[in-house]
Amino acid sequence: MSNQFRFLLMLNLCLSLQTVAAEPGLGLDKASQETPAKVIREAKIQTVENRLQQADSYRFSLSPTKTVTYVHEYEQEKLEKTQVYEVFTKPGKGSLAVFKSASQAGQKVLMQDEKFWIFMPKTRRPIRISPMQKLLGDAAVGDLTTLSWSESYSAEFVESKVEREAKESDEIELRLTAKIKGVSYQKIDLVVNSETNFPIRAKFYLKSGKLAKVANFIRGELNEKFWVTEMILENSVVGSRKTVMQTVSAETVDIPDKFFNPSFLIRNNLGNL
């Protein structure tokens, strides 16, 4: 084969490849043909979802976990009352709160499939309750048996990307809207750190649109992991009152499935756990 023939063959091959590249749809998969607007929109949704998932990671673990939480009620900065709860959470099974204070001994709350049940001592059947059932002060059952924000709510940025960049703030506000039934709050306005996505504060709204409560989150460290160690609930009616939900320990444990079996819970008070 002469050098001239080789040159013409290579030139023809290059021209053929350029033609394929110039034709829309040739040599490209369907995903690569998506419009820029759709790609940008999906990237934005993914970003807000990632932020919400990371905010969740400071509130609970994906592994079976036992947490100990103290709920303190304050009046004019003076401690009035404290209740203690142990919460067992197992992904795919639910959450179980065991009341440890003497005045509530033997009581338990089970959360499964967004439904809440309370077990009272010496009763044969659990009682269905609302997640808004009060524990102490402004703390409700739904605040103790933590729901995953990223699984229970859809999220969007309150401000556009241009507005967020113009502010150059270290905070980003997300608006969460309930996408499942049985959640405590219909809407949550959540502010997170722009870099770490640690939750800073939130406003919780009922289905009626009424503001239910305002919370501030305090970062601490448990088992060498950053965690929301305090959630401070401000009373929107009586400014001198506040409720502090303080998580003092969080450990990965082996939780038996029977802990989420109503029949077992009726027969056992779990007081020695």
pLDDT classification of 45: cutoffs 50, 70, 90: very low
Q: Which 8-state DSSP code applies to residue 129? A: E
Neighbours of 206 (CB within 10 A): 14
pLDDT at 26: 36
Question: What pLDDT score does 69 carry?
Answer: 96
Nearest to 140 by CA among 36, 229, 45, 212: 212
Q: 123-146 pLDDT, tens per residue?
A: 888 999 998 899 999 999 989 887
Q: Give percent of the chain above pLDDT 70.
A: 79
Which of 45-49, 72-76, 215-219 bottoms out in mean pLDDT, i.e. has the lowest? 45-49
* Sign, Cα dihedral of 58, 219, 94, 178: negative
* pLDDT at residue 27, rounded to an integer: 36
| DSSP symbols for 160-177 | -HHHHHHHT-SEEEEEEE
| pLDDT tens by residue, 81-126 | 999 999 999 988 999 999 999 988 889 999 987 789 999 987 888 9
Mean pLDDT of the chain: 82
Which range has the worst mean pLDDT, 71-80, 85-94, 161-170, 171-180? 161-170
Does this model's pTM top 0.85? My answer is no
Alpha carbon distance 128, 105 (integer Å): 19
